[in-house]
Structure 1
Amino acid sequence: MNLTNLSLQLTGYDIAAAKKKLEEYNQHIIEDYEGYIEDKKAEILKFHLKKNPFYSTLVQGKPQNWEDLPVLTKRDLQQPLQNRLSKNFSAKNIHVHKTSGSSGQPFIFAKDKFAHALTWASISDLYTSNGLDLNTSYEARFYGISNHILAHYKERLKDLLSNRYRFSIFDRTAENFDQFITRFQSKKFGHLNGYTSALILFAKYLAEKNLILKELCPSLTHCIVTAEMLFKEDLELLRKQFGVQILNEYGSSETGILAFGPAENALKIDSRLQYVEILDEQNKPVPYGNSGKIVVTSLFNKAHPFIRYEIGDLGTLDFINNQLILTKLEGRTGDFALLPDGKKIPALSFYYVTKEIIKDTANVKEFVILQNQPDTFTIDYVADTAFSNAEIEKIKKVIRVYLGRNLQVNINKKASLDRSKRGKLKQFKRTF
């Protein structure tokens, strides 16, 4: 049994009441989507202007039309939490959390207890609507875990109470993957959940062994990928080697799940708890179908303002059948290659090209791209067999045709790639 809901209920997070409210919000959206969103936007804005000194000071003297409100960034929030809390909120009646820091700008934030309960109720509902019951499905969790003893065992205890087992994704040796396989053969896991890159690595190992995970563990029904980009060919690999439905989850620590659904489809925005906008570089809304910065408003968090909050990603929205859809996720806002002539190239397009080349030339497990200088790129890759000289020259030639002839391209085989402390893999990084 998953004890998370029980523990939340006992510590002041009213999950039962949150579930009832969520049902009401569902009905309101069905009846009048635009009316629901406008009402909730107005309510949360009015609350923070009146009750939150940090936010009211930020807005002071500016028009309060929604599109004229300031766009919050992580940098705005990198100050003591106490300075950002609304009146009548303290450590006694909030949930305190820390961002993952994958953007390079970590900070501590808070949710009031009911907002946090709503988040959990929403997560449970989204999973259930896709055939996955968190109360009964034993989770195989492919995330990082702290090496510090106290934090490590605290995480293990949390996993135990949450009906899940955490696999160590930092050890990517064949011996460790063999231990993964043994555990799947001996335990009745219901679903996998983890960082995309870690799950892809495990799937590639299964492919090498000509194994299907569903055949080893018949109780498996789903796999949820999160936190990193999922490419079409990787989706096909996961579906083939795991033998279960692949679900894609997109969100952030600060807001919870923003979009969720079958990985082969565009993801549905969970509009019950947040309002999502796409803005251009001047913070103006763009039409549906156009790319821009993803900006989120938490509609129920009264402890801490997340109003027009830029989470750091680029994406595209559409509105179909009374439903907001995330049609494309395009990576981080700061991820672009800056060439010697001043041209900016989105890192994702560069990554697509390189991924396609490497797929054709070797049995590459994973790779990352570093831009060391405007004219210098480094590709670090992990593979059983190193590229031949001919394969290296082919890669360099295509990249130079695509980006410029006077570029220096270094290609290095590595035993493993550097990850964040939590196990995320940053696929592109500009170091200057």
Structure 2
Amino acid sequence: MNLFDFTLRIKGFPIAEARKRLKEIQQIPEASFTDYIENAKAEIVQHHLTNTPFYKQFLDSTDVSAWERIPILRKKDLQIPLSDRLSKDFSLKKVYTGKTSGSSGTPLHYAKDHFCHALTWAGIMDRFGWYGIDFNTSFQARFYGIPLEFKGYQKERLKDRFSNRYRFPIFDLSEEKLESFLRVFRRKKFDYINGHTSSIVLFAKFLQRKNLVLSQVCPSLKTCIVTSEMLFPDDKKLLEKQLGVSVVNEYGASELDLLAFTNTKGQFQCNSESVFFEIVDEDGKSVPYGVPGTILVTMLYNKAHPFIRYEVGDLGVLDKTSTPKKPILKQLLGRANDNAILTNGTTVPGHTFYYVAKSAMGENSIVQEFVMEQQTLENFSLTYVAERDLDTTEIDMLQKALDTYLGVSVKLSCKRVEMLDRSHRGKLKQFISHL
């Protein structure tokens, strides 16, 4: 029985129709794909201009004949009740609703019409299918957070049961807990791992210390799909070595859709079927392929709620080999607001601190996980998990690497903890600014 499909259907999400539409889009030839995108963009703008009072007011008589004149939609523009943002033919009872985790700022309540939500799932299942994963039959090892209140906890556990997955809650990643995870892998026949990058990396480091390869412990394991956090090249190598399977990177936004997914050629391929993905400069103008900028996403099929030229909050670079049908995300540079501001006025992206740590600590570092925080323009603190305190030499190396990468001298304090705090969804932010 196709339980996952059945669950979507009984909830009112037309998955069969969505799959059919997705296939039709995928069959559009490259030469005609630009026309498909342009028509879909014009149709969704016209729909919300006609049917969504919130969006009509947001546009405020803007000339929408030129795409780049359409104002960028940001989360701050959506901080009104969800019911006041819906198209006139929809109500809260007739749409799929959700809430973002708020890990990058204020949580956002959002909505999708039922066909749009089904199309999102059709796209996700299509991408997972590249690696032989079938949501109806494949057994998932799920490294995610879980609500701790009783009702939310029970709801997630029920969803896990109907979705053919076993959840490894990631708020406690102590040595004892990781040992219990390993015992589960020894007795269950998982097909794939899916979950937050940092948690799976920590599990891989645990396996490394035990000199174990997970695919030898769990021979049914085929692949690992990481999501929600940055996947750095060194961490990918570690995962591939210690898990013994291919590692796939997924990039998405819960209020939107699946945005990019590693294809079987190793390219980070953007979703071009149900969203329009663009990278722009500070003036909202598209930048050439190969140039970094701010990621904007337009949902082409969400008639319940407008997400048009919506600023996700991330920075990225499209590869020069990109085409309208097959855009390739060369680099995902992390959150646009996760930057350090220095005493000389320069701004440094938060992912820089990952490379600072790698440079100073090396491959055999005792540090398992860390968070770097900026307290003031010149004061930074490192909170880390390790079996012992960093010694003076290790801290000096870290200080030198920090000064080198930042280009200015800063003050660093270090603190060892047993466990790092994660958000209620299990995400780990490796850099936090308190400025």
Q: Give TM class, smaller chain.
A: over 0.9
Give the distance between the partners of 1:263 and 1:226, measured in 2 at CA.
17
1:164 is aligned to 2:165: yes
Q: 1:205 and 2:239 equivalent?
A: no
Amino acid at match of 1:252: A
Distance 2:294 2:241 in 1: 33
Contact kept? 2:130, 2:263, Cα under 8 Å = no
Q: TM-score, normalised by structure 2?
A: 0.96
Give the alignment of 1:133-282 within 5 angstroms: 133-262=134-263, 265-282=266-283
Q: Deviations over 1:377-425 (max 9, x none)?
A: 1111111232211111121122223335542111221211121111100
Flag the 1:361–1:234 CA change in 2: closer, same or farther, 3 A. Answer: closer
* Structure 1 residues 405 and 285: CA distance shift in structure 2, 3 A: closer
Q: Does structure 2 retain, via aligned residues, the 8 Å contact 1:245–1:262?
A: no
**Other structure's SS at 1:323 match:** coil
CA deviations 1:208-230 (Å, max 9, x no partner) are: 11111111111110100001011
What is the SS of the residue equivalent to 2:362?
helix
Q: Which residue is equivalent to 1:402? A: 405
Q: Distance in 1 between matches of 2:76 and 2:2?
A: 37
Q: Is the contact made by 2:260 and 2:269 (CA closer than 8 Å) also made in structure 1?
A: yes
Distance in 2 between the 1:17 and 1:405 partners? 57
The residue number in structure 2 matching 1:346 is 349
- 8 Å CA contact 1:276–1:294 kept in 2: the answer is yes
- How far is the alpha carbon of 1:356 from its aligned partner? 2.3
Partner of 1:324: helix, strand, or coil?
Answer: coil
Is 1:96 the counterpart of 2:97 in the alignment? yes
8 A contact 2:228–2:251 mirrored in 1? yes
Give the SS at the match of 1:194: strand
For residues 337 and 235 of structure 1, the distance between their equivalents in structure 2, rounded to whole angstroms, comes to 25
Q: Bigger shift: 2-11 or 420-429? A: 2-11
Q: Secondary structure at the match of 2:112?
A: strand
Q: Which residue of 1 aligns with 2:50?
A: 50
Match of 1:72 in 2: 73
CA contact (8 A) 2:174 2:419 kept: no
Q: Distance in 1 between matches of 2:356 and 2:181?
A: 32
Contact (CA 8 Å) 1:266, 1:328: kept in 2 or not?
no
**1:19 CA displacement:** 0.7
Letter in 2 for 1:66: W
Aligned to 2:10: 10
The letter of the residue matching 1:293 is T
Say whether the 8 Å CA contact 1:3–1:162 is kept in structure 2: yes
Instruction: Classify the secondary structure of the residue corresponding to 1:32.
Output: helix
Name stretches of at least 5 consecutive residues in structure 1 with no aligned partner: none
Q: Give distance in 2, aligned partners of 1:144 and 1:400.
A: 35
Are positions 1:106 and 2:103 aligned together?
A: no
Offset at 1:2? 5.7
Partner of 2:322: 320
Shift of 1:280: 1.2
What is the CA–CA distance in structure 1 between the aligned matches of 2:31 and 2:18, rounded to whole Å? 20
Local SS of the residue matching 1:320: coil
Distance 1:71 1:203 in 2: 40
Cα distance, 1:22–1:406 mapped onto 2, change above 3 Å: closer
Q: Which runs of 4+ in 1 moved over 6 A?
A: none
Question: Displacement of 1:57 after TM fit?
Answer: 1.0
Q: Secondary structure at the match of 2:27?
A: helix
Displacement of 1:263: 9.0
Secondary structure (helix, strand or coil) at the match of 2:395 reads: helix
- Equivalent position amino acid for 2:20 in 1: K
Residue type at the aligned position of 2:9: Q
Deviation at 1:5, TM superposition (A): 1.6
RMSD (CA atoms): 1.5
Q: Which residue identity lines up with residue 391 of structure 2 in the other structure?
A: S
Aligned with residue 388 of structure 1, among 374, 388, 391: 391
Relative distance call for 1:405 and 1:84 in structure 2 (3 A) is: closer
TM-score by length of 1: 0.97
Q: Structure 2 counterpart of 1:147, which letter?
A: L
CA distance in 2, matches of 1:378, 1:212: 34
Name the aligned partner's letter for residue 53 of structure 1.
P
Task: Report if the CA contact (8 A) 1:140-1:189 is conserved.
Answer: yes
Change (3 A) 1:263 1:358: farther
Q: Secondary structure at the match of 2:306?
A: coil
3-state SS of 1:426 partner: coil
- Among 312, 335, 338, the alignment partner of 1:335 is 338
Alignment partner of 1:16: what SS? helix
SS of 2:169's equivalent in the other structure is coil
Question: Cα deviations across residues 111-155 of structure 1 (Å, max 9, x unaligned)?
Answer: 000000111111111111232222211000000011111111110
What is the Cα deviation at residue 102 of structure 1?
A: 1.4
In structure 1, what is the equivalent of residue 127 of structure 2? 126
CA contact (8 A) 1:141 1:192 kept: yes
Q: Is the 8 A contact 1:143 1:169 kept in 2?
A: yes
Match of 2:300 in 1: 299
What is the DSSP-based 3-state SS (H/G/I as helix, E as strand, rest coil) of the residue aligned with 2:236?
A: helix
Aligned residue-pair number? 432
Cα distance in 2 for partners of 1:290, 1:406 equals 29
CA–CA separation in structure 2 for the residues paired with 1:138 and 1:30 = 35
For 2:116, the equivalent position in structure 1 comes to 115
Counterparts of 1:409 and 1:231, CA distance in 2: 24
Contact 2:271 2:277 in 1 (8 A): no
Choose the corresponding residue for 1:374, options 355, 377, 395: 377
Deviation per CA, 1:170-189, whole angstroms, max 9, x where unpaired? 11122111111111111111
The Cα shift of 1:264 comes to: 8.3
Checking the alignment, whether the CA contact within 8 Å between 2:263 and 2:269 is kept in structure 1 is: no
